[in-house]
Structure 1
């Protein structure tokens, strides 16, 4: 299966510790964070990746060029910010298969992709979301499940426990053909949260390691933890 990585983020919340590079290029243990996402995909024999880039995309292109180990790299460059949905939809023009794995470029969720793909196919899902169980959190919105089907979403608020969207998806290309979507839109807000009742959206629960480097505290935490994960 092919993969798409959303790598166009400005990294506004990280400016105090990282500047002048796209957020996925923030250094973690002397390597760009994006390097670890490629290492992760490589473990599951993913051989083709489309990078959705925008802000300072030349930095990513100069570092990775067109290959990483056995993975071929294509670039879907945004001339203007398209939102997560617009970026994914545009990137699908470079995807040959009917579905693709989607990753956020600032999040590492060490989900077993082989199992996620198998669950997606078994459930005839149109979208599969990898979900992380958390306790005592307020930084993320929550995903509501019934028999592993996604039935709703809750805004950010303190929760004793719940499931969050871990930023790893499998999406069928046909999803974007079912709706009249604008050029620029949020995949989370304008597809997942508003159209889940019209789609077969499967929630795949995983207890795997999860880190989001979007804020300085977790970025610092990643320096040790992510390096250890790939030793």
Structure 2
């Protein structure tokens, strides 16, 4: 896997309520869920650094204080910029809120409860070659009913997002939880007011704006349910060395 993110900013959406796994985590923010001896966030930030990201811009909301306290106890291999929402604004509002903290373009937006192993260098290269304002990393799953289906033409042009529906049961391509936004896309998002990045921004994008990149063979898991959180230990790396702490003053 190449270190192909070319130093771009990555927005990590980590301000969700985590209601589906509150019975497991209690008041612990979902992004700090312990997996293989480490909080999920530490796994994710190490992963982004290995992929060549320039900075991780964390969009925080519920539980932000706990996350920032944790960040202050660690040294990470890339700069981490926490940005706290004053109130829940949805995924679309969360991205708008962090925009003043961004540098350069494109930027990548990813879900803070999703683990993805794919060739992100190829994803970025395909985005630049396609010349679309938005590129969406799509992964193949055996059952799309839990996620909703992404419908694409052979050239990757995204034509429709089908909502989650038990009637959709069966294999297909889904939103893998990572997208690249060019300056044009960021400007359109900034000018909008919709709360949902998925419904109000992606779902309402002009025809031909979204390129769907098929991440063949990608490893994908979200940790948003008790079952998937339990399964994550078999996918994420095992901790082999103690996590680095900050030196005492």
Which residue of structure 1 aligns with residue 5 of structure 2? none
Normalising by structure 2, we get a TM-score of 0.86
Q: 1:76-123: per-residue Cα shift (whole Å, max 9, x none)?
A: 210100110111122121111022111100011112111111011011
Q: Aligned ranges for residues 192-211 of structure 1 at < 5 Å? A: 192-197=202-207, 200-206=209-215, 207-211=217-221
Aligned mate of 2:99, from 92, 96, 117: 92
Aligned mate of 2:176, from 144, 157, 166: 166
2:122 equivalent to 1:111: no
2:188 equivalent to 1:188: no
Normalising by structure 1, we get a TM-score of 0.92
Which residue of structure 1 aligns with residue 127 of structure 2? 120
After superposition, the Cα gap between the structure-2 partners of 1:58 and 1:115, relative to the gap in structure 1 and judged at 3 Å, is same
Aligned mate of 1:72, from 65, 74, 79: 79
Query: Are 2:149 and 2:161, in contact at CA under 8 Å, matched by a contact in 1?
Result: yes
**What is the number of residues matched between the two proteins?**
229
Which residue of structure 2 aligns with residue 6 of structure 1? 13
Aligned mate of 2:22, from 15, 20, 26: 15
Q: Distance in 1 between matches of 2:239 and 2:123?
A: 20
Q: Distance in 2 between matches of 1:10 and 1:115?
A: 32
Structure 1: which 5+ runs fail to align?
A: none
RMSD, matched Cα: 2.0
Aligned mate of 2:138, from 113, 120, 131: 131
Q: Alpha-carbon deviation of 1:136?
A: 3.1
